[in-house]
């Protein structure tokens, strides 16, 4: 892709800092996009593990009917916090903030993002938001118990710390907007010479589409949150019907952000898939432009479907059929992607390394998540399935089976580049197999439970649901073991793993054309792009040893 050979770097970005400090200060005051990406990795990774523990506690409570380990009120707080932490602290910022920060400038062939200081500020704003969530847990009033959707009128009337917790979501939104602005500007202004829009890797395309949603949609949730705080504090009647407000207006405003936010969560994951597949199939991606345009199409159509979350809320019949119809349109660009991914594998020279195994898991799990989305997107079936475990199963297949799986796939793919060390492949393969089994054990029974009528957010259930609830809980233990294996393997690799080469997988995008880990300014040479992003004919010029 680029002219010249890769020079051996004197120092990596770990050994050279953007500021005069050393030690912890050199990290806390860094403006290097790679270090900021790693700061995000450690904090977001930490919150992911907290979310996992909360999920495990919920599953443990549900191992038998009746009260098992927590009471109803604690269970309400558990599922709210699990949702808030997983959505706002893990899955929304996850891929863009970690891998986007680390790899967007490298894949564009530049030395940093457009606004490096703003980038660091985004991380601090994220941390402030996270600290506010934590403070809301311990203040008098108790942890928020509204569910992560903060529906009115309950969220106006409950005495738990709603105002502070939702203000935290408001602050986190700013972090998201700043990252989005930074990425849009970087993509427009800082591409290496020769890199036109259609020579950008597809991960960049997905981040670009995501950044637009972050910038345009996030202010809507910001305004909504401020209105709820106003209503709670001063009793202004905007949403609460007792004060003359309209509770459905709240649901509209919440989902006008939160549905596009689903695409903030999934689009970067789709971008990572489009990076991993060509590398391990040793051939160019099938339908490059179709995948690039479908990212933009998903970003746009994602704005048109929000009220499918509200079919049973009392919105007009006209709105219900229009939104149901529009919902089906999202399946088109999503389908374009899935078919192109599968076609990329066709007649490829498949190298089944761990990142590819995780992507294959993703295609399977995400397809189930996507197709069951059509079941709840259909007006008639949704009336039966709304607020049941079916919905819980559906969004876990999309969010965890989709974005969560790819979060781990991305880690396995880029870990050698980020840390310059290689993990144990055998254990990574075992984790991939266990994950697939654990995931389906944990979440598939919920489809059946939901169909049978098990409502979501209940800490108790009828005895006939026991067997399926037990299977799900055992699945959660297997999932915990899998996550322990993954984390242990990666931490061990980071500390004691074998040194990784510059290009351990045989990738051809720009990040594989610099050292592992990269130097401070990403490349020790002038970068000029004269290949398509997935042109494997250049592999023989690059430092790649297939053994």
Binding site for another protein (CB under 8 A): 188, 212, 215-216, 220, 248, 252, 256, 303-304, 306-307, 314-319, 322-323
36 vs 93: CA distance, rounded Å: 13
458 vs 540: CA distance, rounded Å: 58
Is the CB of residue 113 less than 8 Å from the CB of residue 182? yes
Query: Which residue, 246 or 532, is less far from another protein as judged by CB?
Result: 246
Instruction: From residue 175, give the alpha-carbon distance in Å to each of 130, 236, 266.
Output: 11, 28, 18
Query: Which residue, 49 or 118, is less far from another protein as judged by CB?
Result: 118
Token pair listed for 419: 């840390």
Query: Which residue, 246 or 541, is less far from another protein as judged by CB?
Result: 246
Of 462, 469, 461, the C-alpha closest to 445 is 469
Shortest Å, Cβ 310 to another protein: 8
Shortest Å, Cβ 320 to another protein: 9
Shortest Å, Cβ 215 to another protein: 8
What value, to the nearest 5°, has the Cα angle with vertex 59 and ends 57 and 65? 115
Shortest Å, Cβ 300 to another protein: 8
Q: Which residues touch 349 (CB under 8 Å, ≥6 apart)?
A: 281, 282, 283
Query: Which residue, 317 or 545, is less far from another protein as judged by CB?
Result: 317
Shortest Å, Cβ 357 to another protein: 38
Shortest Å, Cβ 315 to another protein: 4
Shortest Å, Cβ 529 to another protein: 21
For residue 509, give the H/E element and its range: none
Of 254, 168, 187, the C-alpha closest to 218 is 254
165 vs 144: CA distance, rounded Å: 7
Query: Which residue, 118 or 322, is less far from another protein as judged by CB?
Result: 322
**Bond before 153 cis per omega within 30 degrees:** yes
Query: Which residue, 89 or 178, is less far from another protein as judged by CB?
Result: 178
Shortest Å, Cβ 318 to another protein: 4
Is the CB of residue 287 less than 8 Å from the CB of residue 262? no
Shortest Å, Cβ 222 to another protein: 15
Shortest Å, Cβ 303 to another protein: 6
Is the CB of residue 343 less than 8 Å from the CB of residue 289? no
Query: Which residue, 89 or 220, is less far from another protein as judged by CB?
Result: 220
Is the CB of residue 17 less than 8 Å from the CB of residue 39? no
Query: Which residue, 175 or 251, is less far from another protein as judged by CB?
Result: 251
Is the CB of residue 122 less than 8 Å from the CB of residue 182? yes
Shortest Å, Cβ 322 to another protein: 5
58 vs 476: CA distance, rounded Å: 10
106 vs 514: CA distance, rounded Å: 9
55 vs 69: CA distance, rounded Å: 13
| Burial class for 454, CB neighbours closer than 10 Å (0-12, 13-18, 19+) | buried
What is the distance, to the nearest Å, from the Cα of residue 30 to the centroid of all Cα atoms in its chain? 24
Query: Which residue, 316 or 349, is less far from another protein as judged by CB?
Result: 316
Is the CB of residue 37 less than 8 Å from the CB of residue 123? no
Query: Which residue, 304 or 343, is less far from another protein as judged by CB?
Result: 304
Shortest Å, Cβ 440 to another protein: 36
3-class DSSP state of 503: coil
Is the CB of residue 91 less than 8 Å from the CB of residue 265? yes
Token pair listed for 319: 């709105």
Query: Which residue, 157 or 188, is less far from another protein as judged by CB?
Result: 188
Query: Which residue, 102 or 323, is less far from another protein as judged by CB?
Result: 323
Around Cβ 188, how many Cβ atoms within 10 Å?
11
């Amino acid at each position: 892709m680029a002219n010249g050979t890769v020079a051996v770097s004197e120092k990596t970005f770990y050994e050279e800092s953007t500021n005069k400090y050393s030690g912890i200060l050199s990290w806390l005051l860094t403006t290097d996009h790679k270090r900021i990406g790693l700061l995000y990795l450690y904090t977001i990774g930490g919150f992911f593990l907290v979310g996992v523990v909360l999920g495990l506690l919920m599953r443990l409570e549900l191992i038998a009917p009746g009260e098992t380990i927590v009471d109803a009120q604690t269970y309400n707080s558990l599922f709210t916090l699990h949702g808030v932490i997983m959505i706002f602290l893990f899955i929304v910022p996850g891929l863009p903030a970690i891998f986007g920060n680390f790899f967007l400038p490298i894949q564009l062939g530049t030395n940093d993002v457009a606004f490096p200081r703003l980038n660091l500020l985004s991380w601090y704003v994220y941390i402030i938001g996270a600290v506010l969530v934590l403070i809301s847990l311990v203040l008098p009033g108790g942890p928020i118990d509204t569910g992560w959707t903060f529906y009115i009128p309950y969220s106006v009337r409950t005495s738990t710390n709603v105002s502070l917790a939702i203000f935290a979501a408001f602050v986190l939104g700013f972090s998201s907007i700043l990252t989005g602005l930074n990425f849009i500007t970087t993509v427009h202004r800082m591409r290496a010479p020769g890199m036109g829009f259609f020579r950008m890797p597809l991960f960049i395309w997905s981040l670009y589409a995501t950044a637009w949603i972050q910038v345009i949609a996030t202010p809507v949730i910001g305004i909504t949150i401020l209105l709820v705080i106003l209503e709670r504090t001063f009793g202004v009647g905007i949403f609460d019907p007792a004060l003359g407000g309209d509770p459905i207006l709240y649901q509209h405003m919440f989902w006008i952000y939160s549905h596009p936010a689903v695409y903030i969560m999934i689009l970067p994951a789709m971008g990572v898939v489009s990076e991993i597949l060509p590398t391990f199939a040793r051939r160019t991606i099938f339908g490059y432009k179709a995948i690039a345009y479908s990212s933009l199409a998903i970003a746009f159509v994602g704005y048109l479907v929000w009220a499918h979350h509200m079919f049973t809320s009392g919105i007009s019949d006209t709105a219900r059929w229009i939104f149901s119809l529009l919902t089906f349109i999202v399946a088109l660009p999503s389908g374009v992607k899935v078919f192109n991914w599968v076609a990329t594998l066709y007649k490829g020279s498949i190298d089944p390394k761990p990142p590819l195994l995780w992507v294959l898991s993703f295609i399977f799990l995400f397809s189930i998540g996507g197709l069951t989305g059509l079941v709840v997107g259909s007006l008639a079936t949704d009336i039966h399935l709304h607020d049941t475990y079916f919905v819980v199963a559906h969004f876990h297949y999309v969010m965890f089976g989709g974005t969560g799986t790819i979060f781990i796939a991305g880690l396995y793919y880029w870990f050698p580049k980020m840390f310059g060390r290689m993990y144990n492949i055998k254990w990574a393969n075992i984790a991939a197999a266990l994950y697939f089994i654990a995931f389906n054990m944990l979440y598939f029974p919920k489809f059946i439970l939901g169909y049978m009528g098990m409502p979501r957010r209940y800490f108790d259930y009828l005895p006939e649901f026991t067997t399926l609830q037990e299977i799900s809980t055992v699945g959660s233990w297997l999932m915990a073991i899998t996550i322990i294996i993954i984390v242990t393997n990666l931490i061990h690799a980071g500390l004691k793993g074998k040194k990784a080469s510059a290009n351990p997988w045989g990738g051809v995008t720009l990040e594989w054309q610099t050292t592992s880990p990269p130097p401070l300014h990403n490349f020790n040479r002038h970068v000029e792009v004269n290949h398509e992003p997935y042109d494997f004919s250049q592999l023989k010029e690059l430092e790649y040893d297939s053994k």
